[in-house]
Each structure stands twice: as structure tokens, then as C-alpha cells.
Structure 1
Amino acid sequence: MPPTITQGLPIREYLLVGLTAAALTFLLTGLVRRFAIKIGAVANPRARDVHVIPIPRMGGLAMYFGVVGGMALAHQLPVLRRAFEYSLDPVGVLIGGGLIVLIGALDDRIELDAWTKLAGQVMCAGLLVLFGLQWVSFWVPWGEGDGLGSVLVLDKNQGGLLAVFLVVLMINAMNFVDGLDGLAAGLGFIAAAATCAFSLGVLHDTGGDVGSYPPALIAAALAGACLGFLPHNFQPAKIFMGDSGSMLIGLMLAAASTSASGKIPYSQVDPTDTVALLSPLLVVAAVLFVPLLDLLLAVVRRTRRGESPFAADKMHLHHRLLEIGHSQRRAVMLIYLWAGVLAFGVVSVTLFDTGAVFWLVGAGLLLAILVSAVPRLRSRQRV
């Protein structure tokens, strides 16, 4: 069992890591843009695209270097260095993330086929598992004796396969959802910030369990990189993150979620508190809900038409919002709203024992539904 350290939460240190990653990403994106134009890594408009002029991509390179800078700073901070001393998760993310960015950069330049990218994604996920980033256990509401459920412990093969599946799934989900200016970067920031908040909550509740340091660090660095990239990428975008960026976000979100939820010390959780016991799975589901829903709908839609799951179309969630009358910016902000309410709502439910949280989450979801439906309601009034 990892040691515990009784002290205040290192919130300022994590904020410093995130701000460092944001600043580096923001400053480097201009250089990466020039490099992308020079080597011809440019996204020319296609039938399924929303943009109408060629725009350079490969912004994931700047995001990765921002992550590296944030983690390098964390290694120099005595408090956050524990994330490296008791776990190889951050090192695995740096190596696996670097490889996935390289694969994505090649795709941004020469457009690799889907199966080649899938093989590269599985290889990167396997690297994370080799560094120990995998699911160890999770609580299930059934079991022996007292009827309070039980903790399902996974062996290395089971935990590794589950981690690989989640990483590959999340990489492709973020790749699919990256269809409007600023959408993937904003979703990445929201999901990473929520995961960091959950990890800090676990860190507080467990009295300083160092097992919560790595996921909080991974999430803080990713949140900073996404935030630093947004000014260049929000509509109208000057540069796209490309597959190098969307796949990096997917890999790091899956890694942070696995590191945060896959190793929860259930011995320190009240066995009668169902919400606390289910919180790891609930948080993963909420944080990843929007991109995974878009991925699931796309796969079902395409396979029903007899097409490949990787076949492109213009029926993603953001396309549907544009179709009913929302502008690009409003569609992006609406998806932010949905993701933020779900992610931070569920994290709040797991951290705070109050019925007011449920009412706030419900009000947020109702607001999201109403705002999403405004153009359609207006069109019906005109008819």
C-alpha cells in the first residue's frame, strides 16, 4: 500500500504546473504553425469539414511540449516529486504520449490509413500498461455475505487489457469529436480539470495517499496544455491540433482516469456509502461521456449502413447542433456546457455529501437541454 503524507493539499503546485503547461503551449503553437505550413501539414477543406479555407494542423506538438514542461517543473517541486517516486505513471504517459504524438504528426502530414493508426494506438496503450498504468480493482454491488457488495480484484492480464481498451477507445473518441474549432481542446480541458479535482478529493479523503499524486499531475498538465492551445484554436482557428493533438488528449485522459480510479484504496471507504464506492466508475463515465457517446453513435450509425466504423460523415453531435440552427461558437459552447455539468456535477456528488449538489446538477442539465433546443423551438413558433 502506498504511504500517506499528512499535510495540506498541494493545490498551488498543481496550478503552477497547469499554468506552466498552458504558457509553453501558447508560446510554442505559433512556431509549430509555421513548421506545419513549411512541411505541408495543412488541412484542406473536405465535404465533411466545416472550415472553408486551408488551415495548418499538427498543433499536438505544441501541446505535448507544454505537457513535458509542466511535468518537468513538477519533478523539481519537492511535494509533486512524489508522483514520480512512487509511480511510473507520469513517465509512461510522457513516453506513450510522445509516441502517439509522433504517429499523429505523421498522419497530419501524410494521412495514415485507419488500421495503421489503430496498431499504433494499441502499441502506445501497451506501453502505458508496461509502466504499470492499469486497473487493479473496482467495486461491484454484489458479493458474499453481508449484501454490501464486494471489491472485484483484477489480475495483471485483466487489468492491462481493460486499460488498453479504455485508452484506444478514448483516443478514437477524442479523434471523432474533434470537428469544430476549439471543441476537442475545450472538452479536454473540462475533463482533465474534473479528473484533477477528483484526484485531489481522494488525496484529501485518504489523508495524503501518494497514489493520488500521479493522476492529478497528468490531469493538471493536460488541462494546462488544452487551455494554452485554445486561444489559437477557438473559432476562427489559426491552427488545428490534428490527430497529434486529439490522440494525445485521448491517451492522457484515459491514463489519468485509469490512474485515478483504477487504484482506489477501497479499504479506506465506508462500505455502506454506495456513492463513494461507485465514485471511480461514475467519474470515468461522466468525464468521458460526451466523446464516448459521439463515438458510440457514429459506430452504430455507420455499421448499420454497412460501412466501416472509421468512415467519415457529417452526423456527429456538433454537426447535429449546426443543423438545427446553432452557430459554430454556440454549438461548441453548448457541448462545453453539457460536458462541464456532467463531469463537475458527478465529481461534486462524489466529494460533497449534500442533496444540494443533485439539484444543481439537475438544474444545469435542464438549462443545457433548453438552450440546445432554442433554435428548433423558434422555428416551430415561426411556422
Structure 2
Amino acid sequence: MTLAPLSVVPLAALLSAGLIVLLKPLLQRYALARPNARSSHRVPTPQGGGIAIIAAALITAAVLAMPTGIALGGVELPVLALSVIALAAVGAVDDIRPLPASLRLVIQAGAVAAVVLTVEGRLLPDMPLWLERAFAILAGLWFVNLVNFMDGLDWMTLAEFVPPTAFLFALGLAGRYAPEPTLVAGALLGGLLGFAPFNRPVARLFMGDVGSLPIGLIVAWLLFRLAGQGGLDGGLAAALILPLYPIADATLTLLWRLRRGEAVWQAHRSHYYQVATVNGFSVRETVGWVFALQVALAALAGVTLLWPSRAVTLACLVLAAGLVGWLLRRFATPRAASA
């Protein structure tokens, strides 16, 4: 892969920021998020900034595909782009006028299935293909939704996914990741960075479902492609480690809510990162810890790729789980009690 993809990050960042400046008056008028009992903000704030992130990522990737030597004759990238657009459209409508959960779930499942059924590579070669695909669709559907669930604090989605996308982009530049996902990772990274100044605490703009849902799908696809490289002692372990914090936070929160008999489809403020702000952590401290953890997880993922042995993989998985568990426990403990 040439050095041409280096331009994808700054171009996507500039385009994302420029689109936000142009669209913000419309979002202020038509997509205003008003605070309620479950909100983390206290004043009405426009949402929908994810439009700029996704548009910048798709446009930049499309424009730079041929200059970076990527052939556009296959179906994988077009299907990914169309599925991302479909989820963005659903999210945009839902940001303005909430849709029934059942309708959202059906559209999300269709988008995830389309991507999974056209993705290259195998996740678990020893498993029957139909079972692997079914498992991947369920995992992808949960990942799309958990990214949406975890977008409840200023800069949180950036803290979770800037380190992994930067890692995957660097991996591709080093020749250890396929050109197509490398370009997409760089385009998404740039889109997120362009959005960052507008979402810094206290945010002047929220991402909205129009951004979080398609970002979840793009990252899921990037992880699927990574998992297909080298089996458990390589890409699969790295793909498990990179998103471990949001997966753990969202999944454990869901299980606790199910155990308490709560309506899990309703909005709430019981994620660990939300509890942290109740327990004495500022928003900046919370997202700072998550960002630092994601950087550490990216480093561990890199170790599994550099030294692909069963012992190293197991050690990295255990260490990653330990770090995530430590931070979740820290967030769940009131500051006064932990002092």
C-alpha cells in the first residue's frame, strides 16, 4: 500500500468539520435534544452531527479509493456503503421523531446481514459457514446497538473509537491490514476528529443516532475483516480486544437490567460510564480514562499480532479483561468510598 492514504484522515476531518458548520443551523432548528431525567446534558442541544461524520467518511473513502489502488468492481464496499446509508437514514428519522423499536431492529438486522454475507474472510474456519454467519449477524447487530447505547456522554464515542480506528489505520500503513478496511478506518478516524471540537465537554453538538448506528456498523465490519486474518492467535484476538470496554460496559449493564426486571428497550442512565459521573468523576475524567484504556487495549491487540502465539494471546486477553474490569469497578465505586 502506498503513502497516498495518509491524506484520508486530514481530508475527512476537514470535510466533517466543514459540513458541521454548514448543517448546524438546520440541526439547531429541526433536531434539538431537550434534557430529561435520563439525559447527561442540562440545556437543549442540537443533535445529528453524525451526518457530517458519516458523509465525510463515505465521500473521502470513495474519492481516494482509486488513487490508493483499491478496485471498485466488487460488492463488499458498495454493500457496506449502502448499509451505512440505510442506518444513517433510520437514525436521522429517529433523532427527529422516534421510530418503533421493532422497526429499527428489523432495518438494523437487514443492514448487518447484508454486510456479513458479503464480507471477505472467515472468523471461525472450523465452524460451519452458516453457523458462523448467523453468529456474526447476531454479534454485529448487538455491536451496532451497543455503540448507540454507549453514546451518552460528551466525547465518549470518540474516546472509545479514535484509538481503535487509528490503530487499524496504522496497521494498514504498515502492510498488516488489507487496503480496503485501512482506507475506511482512516476515513472514519478523520470524520470523528472533525467532529471532536464540537462535541467537547460541554458539547455544543451531539452525534445522534444518525452517527452512532452507522459508526457501529463500520467498526463491526473493520473488526470482522481484522478477525479474518490469522485465526485466534492473530486477528481474532485483536478484534476481541480492541472494542472490549464498550462491549463489557453495555453487555454487563444489559444483564444487570434484565436481572432487575427492567424494560431494557427504554432509555436509562445505568451504564458504568454514566454511573461514574454520579460517583464523582467529571465528564472529562470519565472519557479520559476510557480513552487511556482504549489506547492500552490497542497496544495489547498489537502485541497479539506481532507475536501470534497461544501463550501471548492468552496473556493479552487476560490482561485486557483485567484492565476493563478494573475501570468498570472504579467507575462503579463512589469517589469518597475509594479515597
TM-score normalised by length of structure 2: 0.87
1:62-101 equivalences in 2 (<5 Å): 62-77=52-67, 79-82=68-71, 84-85=72-73, 87-101=74-88
SS at match of 2:264: coil
TM-aligned CA deviation for residue 158 of structure 1: 3.2
The code of the aligned residue for 1:189 comes to V
* Residue 189 (structure 2) pairs with residue 223 (structure 1): yes
SS at match of 2:126: strand
1:309 and 1:198 map into 2 onto residues whose CA distance is 37
Say if 2:279 and 2:333, in contact at 8 Å, map to a contact too. Answer: yes
Q: How many residues align?
A: 335
2:214 and 2:335 map into 1 onto residues whose CA distance is 39
TM-aligned CA deviation for residue 137 of structure 1: 4.2
Say if 1:189 and 1:226, in contact at 8 Å, map to a contact too. Answer: yes
The code of the aligned residue for 2:10 comes to L
Distance 1:226 1:152, change over 3 A: same
2:259 and 2:326 map into 1 onto residues whose CA distance is 28
* Residue 314 (structure 2) pairs with residue 323 (structure 1): no
1:170 and 1:221 map into 2 onto residues whose CA distance is 20
Distance 1:255 1:51, change over 3 A: same
* Residue 5 (structure 2) pairs with residue 48 (structure 1): no
The code of the aligned residue for 1:55 comes to T
TM-aligned CA deviation for residue 113 of structure 1: 2.3
**Correspondence for 2:241:** 286
Q: CA RMSD in A?
A: 3.1
**Correspondence for 1:133:** 119
**Correspondence for 1:36:** 27
TM-score normalised by length of structure 1: 0.78
Say if 1:90 and 1:218, in contact at 8 Å, map to a contact too. Answer: no
TM-aligned CA deviation for residue 127 of structure 1: 2.4
Q: Alpha-carbon deviations, 1:26-67, whole Å to 9, x = none?
A: 1101222212123x2111101111100011111111111101
1:281 and 1:200 map into 2 onto residues whose CA distance is 20
Distance 1:324 1:376, change over 3 A: same
Distance 1:334 1:134, change over 3 A: same
Q: Alpha-carbon deviations, 1:151-208, whole Å to 9, x = none?
A: 41542x334323322321111111111111111133222222223344455x34xxxx
1:147-166 equivalences in 2 (<5 Å): 151-152=125-126, 154-155=128-129, 157-166=130-139
Q: Which runs of 4+ in 1 moved over 6 A?
A: 353-359, 365-368, 374-378
**Correspondence for 1:17:** 8
**Correspondence for 1:339:** 294
**Deviates further, 118-127 or 245-254:** 118-127
Larger Rg: 1
